[in-house]
């Protein structure tokens, strides 16, 4: 297969933005909005998101198998990109605009219903999209380049959206904290919907030229049936490297989900940052993403992928506990001191570099494991493999939000609380829960990654054996 041209590569990379829009909304604002603005309890908010994630456990493998067996003149992937992309964008309009006077159960039901619909439509889009990424190249290093472009574009969008929100939608207005004003979230939802629709459409248009070069469904293969996804999942989990990658991804996803879901609480109440300061976090995040884009390709040429993942997850574990731990031990000055914000910027830089590294290298590694799976089973299972990957990615907002919601209720943060008004014991509990949960999950991810066996030499051996079979 020939290398991608620039339009094909970057239009594919831009296609990651609808998922980034979802992550930016759910990770940064949904829990805060529904608990602090709508008055829903943290536990019910987290439960709604967890139940939506549980539905993903069913829908993701179904869509993955369906995508692998789809036969159309436009290939296996593109028709599903069209079917899922536009409805996903529309549902962002509903996420931050529940009808008035619903009551607690009504608000819970609205969040649950919209979350399930949004996640289902996003599944129909994102699983064929990520599966297509593994099919765009068979080269060990070019796969890292493709994954790097995709993750970088997603991260830039995911960082820019909260920054834009804090700068333009959630500013203080006439003495009222904009983070506590319901209408501001409606405007943020409109922006999210527009960006998701435009980037999905550009991805579909820009990658139309690769359809003829992508692998097609085996004409002798059985047609899709509802029992097929579960047989496919069983076959996929017969691969030890796939099991370890999935376990590591879940552990990492929970660590990232807990920390990022609580980040607005930490920034607003624990560190007492202003909206402008929170928006400023995009600077080290963007620099870290761009640095990762520059160096990961070179690092990948000198180091095997599993050790890179071990180091990245270990760095993330240490970084996620260090600053909060220093505050709990009384080693930092009071809030408002310039050192606090400076250290937070440095911590954000390290965390984002580690997370981007994990995203890029793990996506490239899964493509290599797919080749190993084909050698063992004589089947290509891109859809099923990346359905598992999509489920792992969604665990960031599902399992992480559930645990974060319970933490919010346990520590006792009340709706519409203003910065500086929460008792120190409550803030210490918030910091301690965040420290323990994120640090332990990130360390667990490093243990899983350390057990994966897929070096450059392993992949070359697999690739040669596949070529000999043909």
Of 16-20, 93-97, 222-226, 299-303, the range with the lowest mean pLDDT is 222-226
Write the DSSP assignment of 406-424 as a string of letters. Answer: HHHHHHTPPTTPPTT-S-H
Q: How far is CA 88 from CA 16, 115, 122, 123, in A?
A: 13, 10, 6, 9
Helix segments in 266-378, DSSP class H? 275-280, 282-302, 305-328, 338-377
Write the DSSP assignment of 70-113 as a string of letters. Answer: ---TTTTTHHHHHHHHHHHHHHHHHHT-PPTT-HHHHHHHHHHH
pTM for the whole structure: 0.68
Token pair 């999935």 in the structure block, residue: 246
Contact (CB, 8 A) for 438 and 354:
no
Q: Which domain holds residue 299?
A: 8-208+233-469
Closest by Cα among 228, 240, 182, 145 to 34 = 182
Contact (CB, 8 A) for 237 and 387:
no
- At 32, list the tokens: 């805060």
245-287 pLDDT tens trace: 888 888 887 787 777 777 778 888 888 998 888 888 888 888 8
What is the structure's pLDDT at 347?
92
Residue 399 has pLDDT above 60, yes or no: yes
Q: Return d(Cα 17, Cα 156) in angstroms, integer.
A: 9
Q: Return d(Cα 160, Cα 154) in angstroms, integer.
A: 10
Contact (CB, 8 A) for 6 and 375:
no
Q: Please count the structural domains in the chain.
A: 1
Rounded to an integer, the average pLDDT of 205-233 is: 71
Q: What is the CATH number of the domain that holds 131?
A: 1.20.1250.20
What is the structure's pLDDT at 267?
85
Structural domain includes residue 77:
yes
Structural domain includes residue 174:
yes
Structural domain includes residue 3:
no
On average, the pLDDT of the chain sits at: 82
- Our measurement of the distance from residue 356's CA atom to the centroid of its chain's CA atoms, rounded to an integer in Å, reads 10
What is the structure's pLDDT at 220?
58
Exposed (0-12), middle (13-18) or buried (19+): which is 247, by Cβ within 10 Å? middle
Structural domain includes residue 171:
yes
Paired with 176 in beta bridges are 173
What is the structure's pLDDT at 381?
64
Structural domain includes residue 123:
yes
Structural domain includes residue 218:
no
Structural domain includes residue 373:
yes
pLDDT band per the 50, 70, 90 thresholds, residue 201: very high
What is the structure's pLDDT at 222?
57
**C-alpha count within 13 angstroms, C-beta hemisphere, residue 148:** 19
Contact (CB, 8 A) for 19 and 154:
yes
Structural domain includes residue 2:
no
Residue 392 has pLDDT above 80, yes or no: no
286-343 pLDDT tens trace: 888 888 878 887 787 788 888 989 999 899 889 888 999 999 998 999 888 999 999 9
Residue 221 has pLDDT above 70, yes or no: no
pLDDT band per the 50, 70, 90 thresholds, residue 107: very high
333-373 pLDDT tens trace: 988 899 999 999 999 899 888 888 887 888 778 778 878 87
């Amino acid at each position: 297969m020939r290398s991608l041209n620039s339009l094909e590569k970057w239009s594919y990379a831009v296609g990651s933005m609808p998922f980034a829009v979802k992550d930016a909304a759910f990770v940064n604002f949904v829990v805060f909005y529904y608990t602090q603005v709508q008055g829903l309890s943290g536990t019910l908010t987290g439960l709604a998101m967890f139940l939506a994630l549980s539905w993903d456990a069913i829908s993701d493998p179904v869509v993955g198998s369906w995508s692998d067996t789809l036969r159309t003149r436009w290939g296996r992937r593109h028709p599903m990109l069209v079917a899922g992309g536009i409805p996903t964008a529309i549902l962002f309009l509903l996420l931050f605009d529940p009808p008035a006077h619903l009551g607690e159960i009504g608000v819970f039901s609205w969040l649950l219903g919209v979350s399930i619909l949004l996640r289902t439509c996003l599944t129909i889009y994102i699983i064929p999209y990520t599966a297509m990424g593994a099919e765009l190249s068979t080269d060990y290093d070019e796969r890292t380049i493709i994954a790097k472009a995709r993750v970088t574009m997603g991260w830039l969008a995911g960082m820019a959206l909260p920054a834009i929100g804090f700068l333009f939608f959630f500013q203080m207005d006439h003495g009222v904290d904009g983070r506590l004003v319901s209408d501001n979230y409606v405007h943020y939802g409109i922006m999210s919907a527009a960006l998701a629709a435009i980037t999905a459409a550009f991805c579909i248009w820009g990658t139309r030229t690769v359809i003829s070069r992508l692998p097609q469904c085996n004409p002798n293969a059985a047609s899709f049936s509802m029992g097929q996804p579960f047989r496919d999942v069983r076959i996929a989990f017969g691969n030890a490297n796939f099991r370890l990658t999935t376990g590591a991804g879940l552990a990492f996803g929970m660590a990232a989900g807990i920390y990022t879901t609580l980040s607005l609480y930490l920034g607003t109440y624990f560190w007492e940052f202003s909206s402008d300061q929170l928006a400023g976090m995009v600077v080290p995040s963007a620099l870290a993403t761009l640095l990762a884009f520059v160096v990961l390709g070179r690092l990948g040429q000198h180091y095997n992928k599993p050790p890179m993942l071990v180091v990245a997850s270990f760095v993330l574990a240490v970084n996620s506990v260090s600053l909060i731990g220093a505050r709990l031990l009384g080693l930092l000055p009071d809030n408002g001191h310039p050192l606090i914000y400076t250290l937070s910027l440095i911590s954000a830089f390290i965390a984002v570099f580690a997370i981007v590294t994990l995203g890029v290298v793990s996506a490239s590694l899964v493509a290599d494991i797919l080749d190993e799976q084909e050698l063992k089973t004589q089947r290509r299972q891109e859809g099923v493999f990346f359905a598992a990957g999509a489920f792992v990615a969604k665990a960031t907002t599902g399992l992480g939000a559930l645990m974060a919601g319970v933490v919010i209720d346990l520590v006792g943060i009340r709706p519409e609380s203003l910065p500086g008004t929460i008792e120190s014991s409550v803030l210490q509990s918030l910091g301690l829960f965040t420290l323990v949960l994120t640090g332990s999950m990130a360390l667990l991810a490093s243990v899983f990654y350390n057990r994966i066996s897929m070096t450059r030499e392993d992949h070359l051996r697999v690739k040669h054996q596949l070529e000999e079979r043909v």
